[in-house]
Amino acid sequence: MKKVTYTAIVVLISIISFVSCKKESQCHCTFNNNVVFSKDLGNQTKSNAAALCNSYDSTVPGEVWTCTVY
């Protein structure tokens, strides 16, 4: 019974660590369907990368950039 409990704990910890896993992210900003800005965001969680990339959205007079994480 102890082996089953320890195995379950190890599996649970592994699953939790993969959920919050950081990975390489890139941000691409487009204007008129052309990429005008690209930036490597480094190792980030998905939510942090999205927040950082969305901060690059800008409205320059006459231009609206749309930024997304890849």
Return the domain boundaries, the chain.
24-70
pTM score, whole prediction:
0.58
Nearest to 49 by CA among 19, 69, 21: 69
Nearest to 55 by CA among 67, 44, 64, 63: 67
pLDDT band for position 4 (cuts 50, 70, 90): confident
Report pLDDT digits (tens) over 11-46: 777 666 665 567 788 999 888 888 888 888 888 888
